[in-house]
Chain A
Amino acid sequence: MIRFSHVVKEYPRTGLALQDVTFRVNKGEFAFLTGPSGAGKSTILRLVIVEETPTAGEVRVGGSLTSGLPRAEIPRLRRKIGVVFQDFRLLEDRTAEQNVAFALEVTGAPRDAISARVSRLLTQVGLASKGTSYPKELSGGEQQRVAIARALVNDPVLLVADEPTGNLDDRATRGVFQLLRDINAAGTAVLMATHNLELVKRNEYRVIEVNRGQLVFDSAEGNGAGVVTTPSPA
């Protein structure tokens, strides 16, 4: 599903963000991506959704090599990937329904199919009654559920989440996380960046840890690198 081999990412002004990162995430797998702030988590996720391409090494997503992928091919790949962010990224001037429908309209989906699909998705994330609410009329947890519904519109094979609970209180965190678990249980691979160690510890999922741009731990490989599993309290 995701395959990083010896990935190096260098940003023009800030320099090396990733050095020699190699890992893979399989179909239907759930993996946490942890590490202190600035470790390179978001960079890894941006490489997965082809917002960036590696400076060296290879990133493969769903079999496609992202470097040199024709610009026209990127939208097609993105439709197979759902994305969720810490800040929800909803359009403030559109209702929950419209925010979800937007992602379908953008792909040129037939209009009559859209509204049925949207209400099904909102029901799935537990917001059946909030379809006509605007983002600022919703709690953080509810907004994130709308974002998750939006991420699911194209039945993605992979869901990428960058600190999806970072702005949420404990209760909302539990709810949103449960939703991600359900989505994974239905067959979608999930790669979730988080620094919520409680959440990571309480669940038996795979953990990939990065620090200063390097992969320092991968629970799927055992503690081979000899690095402490607990992220430093940065």
Chain B
Amino acid sequence: MPLTLREVMLGVRRSPLLSALSVVTIAFSLFAFGLFGLLVLNVDRALRGVEEHVEIVAFLADGTLPEAVSTAMADISSFPEVAQVQEVSPEQALARARAELPEFQDVFDASFLPPSIEVRLKEGHRDPRTVKEVTQRIQTYPFVDDVRYGEDWVKKLYDIRNIAGAAGIALGSLFAAVAVIIIGTTIRMTVLAREREISIMRLVGATDAFVRRPFLLDGFLKGIIGGLLALLLTWGASSVISHSLIQTTFFDPGVAALGVIGGGIIGLLGSALSVGRHLRRV
């Protein structure tokens, strides 16, 4: 479609500023999606790592009878959420503490440490709510003194992830809407500037589809360029964070490609929504 392409070039040359603005807003939209998406991706990853270590530790009262402990352990093992239950004696607890914490280096008497039961949950049951629920169930045993779990910061990570996701969607959609409006305005101006040309096209027998095609292609191409720009920005931000703060994971090539195509779709949508309306007036 050489004529269609030439028309697109003409449109860009006639309103370079608006064209650039369209590309930039689409890029911002996808950059917002990208940045917050990256945050979600990395927090998710971190959470998966943390979750593997989420354990519920029930400290047992002094003098708890071993039979009571084994009954309770069997009982807890049968909870659908529970993957593994393990008893930790004061001696085992001390050995672990000595290995992991330097300040325990000189401690040899284990008697101050209470015996405990460690409960590990199945994958998919490690979210803060389930953890809390199981904790409360364990708490009901009379010989259980105190129950600890990953607590607050797991919940905080979850909150960050959810807020980041919502912010990304909100901000990204806002920019996408602005992009659609700007593309619509660009098309309105282009249609006005080319009114004469379009009416001549019609006169010599161009179909609506033919008249519309350069505008749709224009929107789509701007979207793709915006998408590529966003990809570049997101990747840049990601590597800056990786170098200066913490190691981050970037999107798969598939997801990145999907984002660029998403830009194309925003552009196409912007054109499609306004082109019919404006062309009908010419």
- Are A105 and B3 also in contact (CB < 8 A) when A89-B196, A91-B197, A91-B200 are? yes
Contacts of B2 in A (CB 8 A): 105, 111
B201 at the interface (CB under 8 A from A): yes
Contacts of B202 in A (CB 8 A): 75, 78
Chain B interface main SS type = helix
Instruction: Give CA–CA (A47, B207) in the complex, Å.
Output: 19
Task: Give chain B interface residues in 189-210, CB to chain A under 8 Å.
Answer: 196-197, 200-208, 210
Instruction: Give CA–CA (A219, B204) in the complex, Å.
Output: 31
A49 at the interface (CB under 8 A from B): yes
The reply to whether B204 and A107 form a contact with Cβ atoms under 8 Å apart is: yes
A74 to chain B, nearest CB (A): 8
Instruction: Select from chain B the residue with minimum beta-carbon distance to A80.
Output: B205
Q: Which of A71, A89, A107, A150 contacts B206 (CB 8 A)?
A: A107
Instruction: Select from chain A the residue with minimum beta-carbon distance to B210.
Output: A106
B203 to chain A, nearest CB (A): 6
A103 at the interface (CB under 8 A from B): yes
Instruction: Give CA–CA (A106, B10) in the complex, Å.
Output: 16
- Going nearest first, the 7 A-B pairs with the smallest beta carbon separation are A79-B205, A103-B204, A78-B205, A106-B206, A105-B3, A75-B205, A75-B207
B interface vs A, CB < 8 Å? 2-3, 196-197, 200-208, 210
A-B contact pairs, 27 of them (CB 8 A): A75-B202, A75-B206, A75-B207, A76-B205, A78-B202, A78-B205, A89-B200, A89-B203, A91-B196, A91-B197, A91-B200, A102-B200, A102-B204, A103-B204, A103-B205, A106-B3, A106-B201, A106-B204, A106-B205, A106-B206, A106-B210, A107-B204, A107-B206, A108-B210, A111-B2, A150-B204, A154-B204
- Give 8 A-B pairs besides A91-B200, A103-B205 with Cβ atoms closer than 8 angstroms: A72-B207, A75-B208, A79-B204, A102-B204, A106-B201, A106-B204, A107-B204, A150-B204
